[in-house]
Structure formats: structure tokens, C-alpha cells
Chain A
């Protein structure tokens, strides 16, 4: 049973560019959350998607947007990249958004 799959695993972008990260949830899960983990810190909640809608959002600017598809997979888009966006981006899935989440291995984004 595949867990949460994220792609790509590593990415290097230039300031001002746009990036799309992808996530396939664990089989049977319908909810996808995205987190940003800066080096040496705990993950910070970006947003959660359920039934193809953004259900809850953390304190991130509008440059961060997302989408959930009918098969429950999700994308995270970041526009106008800043150096400070360099981080590990984690996707987490769950059933109905409760009771513990299964995390993927993350996408390491480096902005230069």
C-alpha cells in the first residue's frame, strides 16, 4: 500500500519564478494538507484541501495557492519565489482530516 507520494524530491528555482509541487495521498485518504518546514524548525501549516476546496489556511501570503483534483491528489503552487521560500515542503493526507496524518517525504525547494 503506497503511502503519500510527493514529486519532485528536489527542486532549484530562481527568485521571481513560479513552482508547482505535487502530492498523491495515501490510498483511502481524501484530505490533503501542505506544510512548510524551514531548516531547523517545525513544520508550519500552509492549507488543507477537502472535497476540492480549501478548507483551512495558515498564515501564508496569497502567493501560495493550491488545488485538489477529483482523485484527491493535490498541487501546491508558489508564485514570485523569494529566497525565504527555500524549505522542505511536506504533504500530509488523512481521512476526513482527522485523527492523525500520514506525511510524505517532502520536496526540498531551494530558491537562488
Chain B
């Protein structure tokens, strides 16, 4: 069975600073990995996904993530934070094949300071 651990439930960054959100996963097979963002009172929006192609994945809004198999990690980064990045971020894993569900981490809330 797969699982996801997001390190840090809250992250506070200054506007213009690096955003780094950590995600570690466990999976018995090569996983599909996703990052989603959720704004207050809204559903989840896909930021980016890894599906066994390039290990460095670029997403929307300037975000990117790197799949590191040796570290079982899929950390999300953005070089320069913007006020509009304040939201909750979820890492999710799917084992693909005959497993269609997404298993989500507990989420990381990002606050951006002016």
C-alpha cells in the first residue's frame, strides 16, 4: 500500500523567497506522483504530475518538483513566492496499474509575508 508524508503542516515565507514543500512517499511499485493546491472553500487544482517520464517536472504558476527515487521524495519548489501562492498544498501518490485511487498527504499550509 502506498502512503504520503508531508513534512511541516505550516510553512511561512516572505514574498520573493524560495518556497520548498517536502513530500516523501512509500510505494511498492513505481508511483505516479502529484501536487495539488487548494484555495479556501475551493476544490483541488493540479499543479504538476510525475508519471515516469522526466524526473524534473514543471507545473503551473512557476512550480516544479523533482522525483528522487533513492530518497523516495517528490519535493515541490518555487523560486520566488507571490502573495497569491498562499494556499494549502497536497502531495498525492497513485500506484497506477490497477490502483486508481489517489492517496493524499495531510497537507501543508503556505503563508506568504509581505
Contact = CB atoms under 8 A, between A and B. Distances in A.
Interface residues of A, number: 26
Given A33-B101, A45-B101, A55-B100, A90 B107 contact: no
A33 B107 contact: no
A103 B45 CA distance: 7
B9 to A, nearest CB: 9
B101 A48 contact: yes
A103 B44 contact: yes
Q: Tell me whether chain B's interface is mostly helix, strand or loop, or mixed.
A: strand
Contact of A100 (B4, B46, B101, B104): B46
Contacts of A90: 43-44
Interface of B: 4, 32, 34, 36, 41-46, 49, 51, 90, 92, 96, 99-107
